[in-house]
Structure 1
Amino acid sequence: MLVNKSPDIPYQELPFTGQFHIFPLGSFSNALTHEPHRHDHFQIIWFTKAAGRHMVDFVWYEMEDNMVFLLRPGQVHQLDCDREGTSIMFTEKFYFANKNDQGTLYDFTYLFNSWHGYGPIRLGTCVSESLALLSQLMEREVTGTACSRSVIKHYLNAFLLLLEREKKRNAAETMMPYQHDARVVQLRRLIEEHFRTEHQVGFYANTFALTPKRLNEITKESTSCTVTELLHERLVLEAKRSLAFSHKSVKEICYELGFEDPAYFSRFFKNNTGISPQDFRDMMFK
């Protein structure tokens, strides 16, 4: 069960005035990390040693050594574990400081599991050694007298590329398909921006100058889900966040998510979760 019963999900901001930070997990511990909270930045959490559990968007994961979680802004997570390792935090502004960088980070959105993905990345020994070296190089650059944003970003890109390769290896070992389609990455971004107001596949298909049928075919090849299923998954996740971490009524949540009829919204939620919105809220706070 979630232990935080505050009316809203607390936000954890970067603990410094800049836009990039890297530090050992053991050096950053406060009460907030043990309660459900979210961030206003991207975060890479590499657990070199861990025992316990980690919750990300209502899914609990049993911790293992050499496990990596990648969190997007707004994701809710909670740590209930002893841990050693490294945390890397950076803002979108840091990554996109140069206009030529626009779009680069979104090549990695498949890694940052916000509402659909394969969960944490399990690292092999060889890649762990490479990531440790890159972590050291980033730490050295950040603390140096001539710190360069460009140098840090090159190290960060290399770090992410290695994680993407490990994710593909994880997928192969578990017999799960791993396909990366730039159109699906863009679709996820569009859904993230418009899921509260645009519930029809046609809106997203028109953006790509495709028919809804063709966009569904492309999406199913990469995710095994239709556009509607991805959209519904995102709506349900946001509904769960509001039900669990706010005092908003079911009716208020219904309207905020673009539904016109609270009764229809309740049926939608139950059809996708097997439980009514109110029962879900009650379950969270037993």
Structure 2
Amino acid sequence: MALRDIPSYALYGEFDDPVTDWVHCETIQSRSRLHNYRIQPHRHEKLFQVLHLAGGTADISVDGQSTRLTGPAIVSLPPMTVHGYTFSPDVQGTVLTLFDSRLTHILADMDGIRETFRSVRLIGLQDHPEAARGLTEDIASLAAELTGHGSGRSEAIQARLLLVLISLHRLRGSARTAGSRSPGRRALQHALRFRELVERDFRNHQPIEVYAHRLGLTSPHLNRICREHLGDTALGVVHQRIILEAKRYLTFTSLSAKEIALALAFDDPAYFARFFKQKTGLPPLAFRAMQQNALA
């Protein structure tokens, strides 16, 4: 099966709460029992996932490598990781899913911790009873906040999630990193790191050579990685991000096309309009009108 043929699932349609539209929480039972406890190999393009196996067993396949886990255990999966599960019918636990860009934002001020979550981590917790108990409590508290309506809910959700992430980071010495030394896994890590850099710097219109240098790669190598794992050239990935931001401005603000061009660091508004039409097939204001009609 080619990489392009592997299903890529986005749970975004299930994120229907404006306060928590960046994070989703569900029990392992709720989804797996619908599929006879077998989840076929798939991937999530922009989502980071944590699976907390509280009880039962899970045969997990990661990029073609199979491992059996017995609860309590925990798994963290960066975006684009091809993974599948076969659970025992008595499985218990929780799956947390959030946008990878939000993960980067949450961990932005914590030196060294972000690197922990760029690789797959499989952690058995049988020899870490205190950590297992703490993770169970923190995940239960996070789930309660997600379904609650208390004041400061958004901040509490992020704080609870941060506690879970810190616990995982502290357990990194106990983790197995599935396939982390393989060339394909290293290339995927470069692709994810590149996307993080683009998310932070896309307004600066930096040459691809600058991104490649920061990743310790050549520009042709970065392009090959992006084509393989992100489905476009490196420049195409940057352009996609610029267009996404332009669409957000046109849909959710009343800024003029000229003001949006300046907000996105285009010196020439006319060039911005041509660029937008080339990528979307519509001039900026025609796109805005289409979005307004759709919303109406």
Q: Give TM class, smaller chain.
A: 0.5 to 0.7
TM-score, normalised on structure 2? 0.52
Residue 134 of structure 1 is matched in structure 2 by: 138
Which deviates more from structure 2 when the two are superposed, residues 78-87 or residues 31-40?
Answer: 31-40
- Runs of 5+ in structure 1 lacking a partner? 173-184, 195-201, 213-226, 243-252, 259-286
Matched, 1:84 2:116: no
- Match of 1:28, SS? helix
Distance 1:151 1:192, change over 3 A: closer
The answer on 1:28 being equivalent to 2:26 is no
Taking the aligned partners of 2:69 and 2:59, their CA distance within structure 1 comes to: 5
Q: CA RMSD in A?
A: 4.3
Q: What is the CA-CA distance between 1:94 and the residue it aligns to?
A: 4.8
Question: Which protein is bigger by CA-based radius of gyration?
Answer: 2
TM-score by length of 1: 0.54
Is 2:79–2:100's contact at 8 Å kept on the other side of the alignment? Answer: no
Residue pair 1:95, 1:153 contacting (<8 A) in 2 also: no
Counterpart AA for 1:161: I
Q: Secondary structure at the match of 2:150?
A: coil
CA contact (8 A) 1:22 1:139 kept: yes
Q: How does 1:186-201 map to 2 (within 5 A)?
A: 189-190=193-194
> 144, 149, 152: which one pairs with 2:154?
149
CA apart distance, 1:28: 2.1
Letter in 2 for 1:63: L
Query: Which residue is equivalent to 1:60?
Result: 66
For the Cα contact (< 8 Å) 1:187–1:204, is it kept in 2? no
**Structure 1 Cα separation of the partners of residues 67 and 38 of structure 2:** 16
Q: Which has the higher contact order (CA 8 A, sep 6+)?
A: 1
How many Å separate the matches in 2 of 1:95 and 1:131? 18
Deviation at 1:256, TM superposition (A): 6.7
Return the letter of the residue paired with 1:59: Q
Q: Percent identity?
A: 20
Q: Show the counterpart of 1:38.
A: 43
Shift in CA distance, 110/36, structure 1 to aligned 2, threshold 3 Å: same
Aligned-partner residue type, residue 140 of structure 1: A
Q: In the alignment, which of 1, 10, 13 is matched to residue 11 of structure 2?
A: 13
Q: Which runs of no fewer than 5 residues in structure 2 stay unpaired?
A: 177-188, 199-208, 236-296
Does the alignment pair 1:109 with 2:114? Answer: yes
- Give 1:248's aligned residue: none
Find out whether 1:167 has 2:167 as its counterpart.
Answer: no
Deviation at residue 126 of structure 1 after TM alignment: 0.8
Whose helix fraction is larger, Structure 1's or Structure 2's?
2
Q: What secondary structure sits across from 1:110 in the alignment?
A: helix
1:196-215 matches, cutoff 5 A: 206-207=213-214
Q: Partner amino acid for 2:140? A: Q
